DNA sequence: AATTTTTGCAACCGCACGGTT
DNA sequence: TAACCGTGCGGTTGCAAAAAT
């Protein structure tokens, strides 16, 4: 295909798939716009963060038009929502969160986005992944999806509505809870289905997988489920009851590095830094209009390990179509650390990276082909390890996760600083 | 140590919905 | 009112890393 060579040489063509589609037709010429697919690189992240910092969320298709970032709007939105926006909470779900998910799912089904609203810092994608994993695990073990070690308590009074978990009670006490659940009050097909189907369950029914009652078809991994909704917290006062073939996931500790949770070195990992080494960033706020921030529950989050409470300051709330006033230049004043010789030495590669990002943002193509995402991430990780105190042992695929993407924020900030320095 | 299997997750796709033209 | 556009949601897939053999 003609043009592919230039595509591959383009700064945005490090790896992943490039999709071409017909652009605007003007004067008879069809502009071929190439969109990249696949994993995001740090360079792209920087561009996107910088754009959102300046213009706010929303208008995602404009990102591609205005930054030269060859990603479709949907991809940008997804990347931002799931990985780049501040206050994201990484790591394994806490037992309380799991309880909320299980209870919610029992009541309303696969409403990941709504669950994400109840779990600040969590994304619908994350919850979806969690649920799919749970399904697989429990199916493999023949454990009912909703049942746990307290089943034998529930089995005696299976349809009794027990008290919600403390966490859920807290969530429900939030004034926004009722508003948020108008959706469900208006559309409770699951609930109605439950009302219609609700019959006294036999004690054994609660001890056996729905697989035993409903045929499983391979067309969907979900079809084996018994979708009969259950009352909140009827079954899951503790989600940790089932047995694991492998070690159970650590549910309370910050699992930034889940892959290492069972490795001997896991416990040797230093605590993730709670703040950056760029003090001016501690008060840095992105423009936020994501739905999850509307139900922000600092009291719940601050108790979480590995999450900086400073990262959960009240955020500016803007509708998705309203633009956020960009931070003033003085907000990104050069820090003394930037003039530190050791910092400058270790930031050479970072500077290259950022300059590349700037070139990309300004619509220029980098001369040299960018490294693959993995390599770039490693490079980035190496650089950052010298400038920001991050755990030294960190999987290459998880270089940026420290409560929230502090390092990405740092990147943007430093990009501004470099800009200041150059200009 | 090498290979295979399993797991977890990032990112994509298709569809739906609401607003605008 | 139909077409278009931007956005959001849920389901699915592909792959890297971890675990098992």
* β-pair partners for A19: A35
Burial of A163 (0-12, 13-18, 19+ CB in 10 A): exposed
CA distances to A98, A238, A281, A287 from A311, in Å: 23, 29, 10, 13
| pLDDT tens column, A43-85 | 888 888 888 888 888 888 888 888 888 888 888 888 888 888 8
Q: Is the CB of A105 under 7 A from strand B?
A: no
A83 touches strand B (CB under 7 A): yes
Which residues pair with residue A402 across a beta bridge?
Answer: A404
Kindly report the average pLDDT of chain A as a whole number. Answer: 49
**Residue A345: its pLDDT value, please?**
35
pLDDT at A141 over 50: yes
* Residue at the smallest CA–C1' distance to nucleotide B13: A74
What angle, 0 to 180 degrees and rounded to 10, lies between the N-to-C axes of helices A406-422 and A348-361? 80
Q: Which residues surround strand C, with CB < 7 Å?
A: A 58-61, 73-74, 77, 110-114, 124-125, 128-129, 132, 219-222, 245-246, 259-263, 291, 320-321, 374, 395-397
Per 3-state DSSP, chain A is made up of helix, strand and coil in percentages (nearest 5) of 45, 5, 50
- What domain range is A116 assigned to? 95-212
Question: How much is the pLDDT for A191?
Answer: 38
Residue A332 CA to residue A284 CA, distance in Å, equals 10
Residue A242 included in any domain: no
Chain-centroid distance, C-alpha A183: 24
Question: Is the domain of A170 the same as that of A316?
Answer: no
Greater model confidence, A380 or A264: A380
Which nt is closest to the CA of A372, judged by C1'? C16
Are both A111 and A198 inside the same structural domain? yes
Q: What is the pLDDT of residue A365?
A: 36
- For chain A, how many structural domains are there in total? 2
Please give the helix or strand (H or E) that residue A131 lies within, else none.
helix A124-141
**Å from the A189 CA to the C13 C1':** 29
Establish if A149 belongs to a structural domain: yes
Whole-number Å distance, CA A114 to C1' C9?
10
Task: Give this prediction's pTM.
Answer: 0.52
Strand B closer than 7 A to residue A79 Cβ: yes
In 3D, which of A402, A131, A414, A55 has the Cα closest to residue A257? A402
Q: For A15 and C13, how far is CA from C1' in angstroms?
A: 18
User: Which of A31-35, A93-97, A281-285, A359-363 holds the top average pLDDT?
Assistant: A93-97
Residue nearest to nucleotide B11 (CA to C1'): A38
Last-in-domain residue among A212, A227, A244 = A212
Strand B atom within 7 Å of A74 CB: yes
pLDDT at A22 over 80: no
Q: Which pLDDT score is estimated for A20? A: 53
Does at least one atom of strand B sit less than 7 Å from the CB of A78? yes
Identify the top-confidence range among A147-156, A294-303, A318-327, A344-353: A344-353
- Distance in Å from B4's C1' to A348's CA comes to 41
pLDDT of residue A32: 54
Model pLDDT, residue A282: 33
Domain boundary among the residues A179, A212, A245 is at: A212
How far apart CA A34 and CA A22 sit, in angstroms, is 9
- Determine if strand B comes within 7 Å of the CB of A85: no
CA A411 to chain centre: 19
- Chain C: positions less than 7 Å from a protein CB are 5-13, 16-20
Say which range, A170-179, A342-351, A407-416, has the weakest mean pLDDT.
A342-351
Residue A35 within a domain: no
Instruction: Write out the H or E segment, with its range, that includes residue A169.
Output: helix A166-173
H-helix or E-strand containing A103? Answer: helix A95-108
Among A166, A184, A212, residue at a domain's last position: A212
The answer on A105 and A184 residing in a single domain is yes
Whether residue A202 is found in the same domain as residue A278: no
Which of these, A115, A112, A116, A107, lies nearest to A146 by C-alpha position? A107
Protein CA at A188 to nucleotide C1' at C8, angstroms: 20
Are A171 and A282 found together in one domain?
no
Scanning every strand, the nucleotide with its C1' closest to A378's CA turns out to be C16
pLDDT at A172: 54
A34 touches strand B (CB under 7 A): no
Positive or negative, the CA dihedral A190, A195, A197, A199 is positive
Q: CA triplet A56, A60, A64: central angle to 5 degrees?
A: 110
CA of A244 to C1' of C19 (A): 14
Nucleic strand B under 7 Å from the C-beta of A59: no
Tell me the percentage of chain A whose pLDDT exceeds 70. 26
Give residue A356's pLDDT: 52
Q: How far is Cα A176 from Cα A236, in angstroms, rounded to an integer?
A: 24
Task: State yes or no: pLDDT of A165 exceeds 80.
Answer: no
Distance CA A291, CA A404 (A): 17
A286 assigned to some structural domain: yes
C-alpha dihedral sign at A121, A124, A126, A130: positive
A40 Cβ nearer than 7 Å to chain B strand: yes
Query: What pLDDT is stored for residue A357 in this prediction?
Result: 54
pLDDT band at A4 (very low <50, low <70, confident <90, very high): very low
Quick one: A415 and A273 in the same domain? yes
Nucleic strand B contacts from chain A, 234-263, CB < 7 Å: 245-246, 249, 255, 258
Q: Is residue A235 part of a domain?
A: no
Q: CA at A102, C1' at C9: how many angstroms apart?
A: 19
- Nucleotides of B strand lying within 7 Å of any protein CB atom: 7-14
**Domain for residue A65, yes or no?**
no
Shared domain check, A154 and A286: no
Would residue A11 count as lying in a domain? no
Residue A362 per-residue DSSP state: T
A39: in domain: no
């Amino acid at each position: 295909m003609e043009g592919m060579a230039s595509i591959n040489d383009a700064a945005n063509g490090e790896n992943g798939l490039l999709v071409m589609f017909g652009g605007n037709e003007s004067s008879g010429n069809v502009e071929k716009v190439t969109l990249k697919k696949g994993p995001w690189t740090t360079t792209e992240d920087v561009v996107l963060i910088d754009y959102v910092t300046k213009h706010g969320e929303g208008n995602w298709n404009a990102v591609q038009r205005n930054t030269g970032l060859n990603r479709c709007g949907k991809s940008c939105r997804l990347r931002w929502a799931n990985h780049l926006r501040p206050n994201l909470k990484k790591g394994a779900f806490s037992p309380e969160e799991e309880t909320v998910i299980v209870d919610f799912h029992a009541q309303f089904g696969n409403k990941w986005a709504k669950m994400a609203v109840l779990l600040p810092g969590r994304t619908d994608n994350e919850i979806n992944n969690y649920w799919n994993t749970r399904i697989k695990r429990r199916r493999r073990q023949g454990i009912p999806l909703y049942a746990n070690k307290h089943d034998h308590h529930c089995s005696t009074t299976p349809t009794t509505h027990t008290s919600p978990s403390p966490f859920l009670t807290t969530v429900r006490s939030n004034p926004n809870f009722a508003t948020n659940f108008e959706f469900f009050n208006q559309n409770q097909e699951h609930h109605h289905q439950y009302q219609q189907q609700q019959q006294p369950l036999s004690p054994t029914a609660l001890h056996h997988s729905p697989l035993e009652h409903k045929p499983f078809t391979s067309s969907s991994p979900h079809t084996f489920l018994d979708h009969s909704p259950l009352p909140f917290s009827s079954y899951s006062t503790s989600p940790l009851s089932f047995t694991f073939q492998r070690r159970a996931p650590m549910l309370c500790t910050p699992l930034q590095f889940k892959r290492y949770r069972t490795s001997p070195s896991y416990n040797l990992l230093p605590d993730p830094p709670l703040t950056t080494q760029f003090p001016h960033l501690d008060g840095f706020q992105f423009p936020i209009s994501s739905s999850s921030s509307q139900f922000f529950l600092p009291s719940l989050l601050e108790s979480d390990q590995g999450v900086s409470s400073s990262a959960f300051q009240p955020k500016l709330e803007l509708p998705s179509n309203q633009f956020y006033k960009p931070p003033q230049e003085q907000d990104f004043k050069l820090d003394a650390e930037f003039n530190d010789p050791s910092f400058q030495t270790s930031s050479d590669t970072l500077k290259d990276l950022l300059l590349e990002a700037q070139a990309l943002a300004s619509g220029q193509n980098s001369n040299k082909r960018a490294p693959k995402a993995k390599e770039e991430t490693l490079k980035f990780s190496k650089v950052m390890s010298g400038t920001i105190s991050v755990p030294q042992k960190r999987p290459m695929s998880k270089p940026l996760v420290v409560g929230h993407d502090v390092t990405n924020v740092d990147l943007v900030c430093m990009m501004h600083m470099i800009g200041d320095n150059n200009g």
